[in-house]
Structure 1
Amino acid sequence: MGGENHELLLPLVEEENICLPLPINVVSKYWNVELSMDEAIDIAKKYSGFEGSILIEGIEFAERCGLTCKIVHSSLVELKKIIDLGIPPIVILPGIPEITQHASVITGYNDEEKTILHYIQKGNQEGEQQEGAIPQGIFEKEWSEEGKLLIILAPSEILSSVELEKGSNNDSNFLCFVSEKQNILKNYSQALQSLKQAVDLDVSNSTALNLLGAAMNGQNSPECIKYYEKCIEINNRSFLSFNGLGNFYLKTNQFEKAEDCYSKAIEINPKRSAKIYKNRAYLREKQNKNSDAKDDLKNYLKYYSKAPDRGIIEQAIREL
């Protein structure tokens, strides 16, 4: 760790797999724990056709190989404390348009420049670790969209010495990650049960509340509203809950409520989703707000350059 920058030196890693995501592989290697890619490939066979990463598979793999994990809602102060203890944390951040979320390894911070440093997969020309610097204010805003969710993966003797602000909600958060795996495997009833158990363990877990809202929304159940609203009450920067509420109100033809929710989500992060603009354009057109609908369709194409329906949308823009 160096001087004012509070940086950790992590190994350069290029290999990853849906069941051994890069952040898990990097942090495991940092602790000199080698996770077999062959084994990860074998585990991934049950997820044939799935695109993306399954973090919980990587976490459970690392735990089987001797590491211990904690998943908590954290803070910027705690994040820095963990880095200063020599532990590289993994954070959950919003994804780029049409990718819901992504995990990133934080390698350090610079208080003088007010930046947070995150791991970049490729080394520089000398083969040395590269870091991406994110302005601290932007990082905290984006991280807050995910309830400042933090994953700590470390040897048990190190992790046991760390006092976490919200360490008690680890089990609840763990179940949230398990539920996502169950959803991918189409074990929907088990996923729902995991989320209900997560909320029972911690009624203030915004991650669990949002996911339970999404599950209920998927069943077209009005019950989703109370879970989304409770999540927003705890984390008023939950883009996903505002977007989920908007989707439910759109499905039930409550256009004014849908527009309000979509607008609040866009205010939180205007670049996170392209589809939200398309949805808002549809309901605005239904309310005879053609000029606003036209602007939304333009934004949809702006943030989704490879939109498969580009031709149809461009025609709609001309006709509005």
Structure 2
Amino acid sequence: MPKPIRHNNHVLETESNKFFSNQVPNEWIIDKPEHDYGIDYNVNIAIDNEVTGLSFSVQLKSKIQDKHPDFATITLKHSTLSLYNTMLAPVLLVAYIQEEKEAYWYWYNDLNIDLATQQKTFKIKIPKTNKLSQISWSTVVKYVQDIFSIKTLVDGIRFLEYNEISNSELLAWRYYYSGDYENAILYFKNLLRENPQNIAILEGLSQSQYQAFNYKEALFNINKAIELSGKHNLNLTKACILAEDGIQNGIKGKIIEARDIFKQFIDSGQSQAGYHYNYANTLSKLGHYEEAINHYQKCLKIDPNFATAWKNLGQVYWDIQEHEKELECYNKALVINPKLPQALFSKGVTLSRIYNQHEEALTLMLEALKYEEEMLHSYPYGYFGIAYAYEKLNKLRDSLIWINKGLDLYPEDIYYLNFKSNLLIEHWKENEWLKEEAIRFFKFRLELENDFKSLYALMIIRDLDDEQEILSLLKKHTTLLKETSLDTLKKCGIKLKEHIIFLLHCNKYQDFRKDYSIHRYLDHLISELFVISAEFWEILDLIFATSFSSAVFEYYKNKNSNIIAQKILEGLMLSPNAITELIPDADYRQEEAISLMSHIYLGFPTIIVREFGAQFGIITGALGLEKPSEADSLPQPWYDDLCEKILLTTNNKLKLLRED
């Protein structure tokens, strides 16, 4: 019976694996990944039989022969090289040639390959002078230390002598290299109790605290390391901490300080990609967009495979609203690293907010969270982006879930609060299940910040008809109608339910009133025959607030600037009703009544015309609209109707003229 024949490829693979394993120091640990994802081995460096935490990965290719006398060639996929680009540990590329009984090596990190291209495979030449059988493993250790030092910004790593440090220190670094920063912090702190002036430990502790978002402690320890060592390079870590703290917590002074440190490194002639990248990050956060673009481009000229730099450059283009360039940058980042969460998410936000491609956008954002759920800790408006896309797809329950997640973390954030307010007020009528949620939320927001729009929403959702209850709520939550009674409002023909729209833009109206006090009209009304009551001013204020808010509301609803003047004029036509409260109930002699009627008939229209001009000018100016001529905006028929109503209302109080 014939025996199974083993294919030559398997023989070659076994031979190359044995050759590599025989070259590696016996105490080093060689692990083979469970799945083949472009890495054949992970090699953990051990010294004196203690695992250091330092490691490197290996891609091993084998060939029967290679015709080139000076180099061996291997071919790698773009996706494989993209993976290498994201790894902390360096990757050793090894080509085994069976006929030569030798393998040749080269560090991927030393190659200059532009992964931003769409090229699917890359042919790599490995010089045959780099014989694996002659490699210096002590040099490998130093190389790995240098890479770890560069990528983590801990300068002390490259100088560590692992055969001279304690097991506790080895364990601390092992936790640090593996990204277990909480445990690393515990061990580094214990080590500092024994040796409080160990610079490398202070660096490691500071970087661990920085990675764990403990910025204050991180800054304290890096400052201590700088003070003890005097090493200028440690300022890079300090600048990174300052920048991240400033960006995350909105502390402009720290961003400025970080920017100045990064600039010092660049000005000193140390032109590394990371320096330009960090400097550009601070510039963009300070609003210096053109300068930021310049330094991102310098960074990418040095290292075109810097995926995060492409992503951040895209963010600057978002800020200056050049969205085509923005998407180009995200796409380049994703060619280099298809799983870069920040690029996936940012692209999704732009597709949703700018291009209305909500389905694709949502897919990208949710995919990003699969790779790095914690990303939202450093991207506070991520929940907003997802909620927005869900709402646009009319998936309101999902939208509400995500906006509530944002509010759980940022309960007083105005963007989240306003988003939820708008969602609820827009959809509660057609979704009964939203009604209770809306009432609960608007009560919360009213208590949180005395939000006028929430008060309006509560009244509308509850369909509040009781004028006394409406008046009580307005007295409690606004500065209007503090002195006014319901009887006075009825006497003046004011139905509060028809005026609560003023709450929608009450903040804008209050700002307007600060510059244009309602009491500036006093000279047009003051008379020896009566004292102007506080209730009159409050009723007039309510009418003016309603006309103002109605105009703004209708503009935002229709985006039609012509509606502004029309709505102001409609609202102001009710202002003569306040005359009923202006003229006190009294028995006037005929000459007094005539004097009063004349005084009010001449003065009151002037007040209303002035108020129209002020409201119209402020609203159009705030909205950036061109102001039409007053001749077109203030029609004579309207003015005639106003004067007639003023005359009739005044006469109704004074009984001078027959009503027919």
The higher radius of gyration belongs to 2
Higher RCO (C-alpha under 8 Å, 6+ residues apart): 1
Structure with greater proportional helix content = 2
Higher strand share goes to which structure? Answer: 1
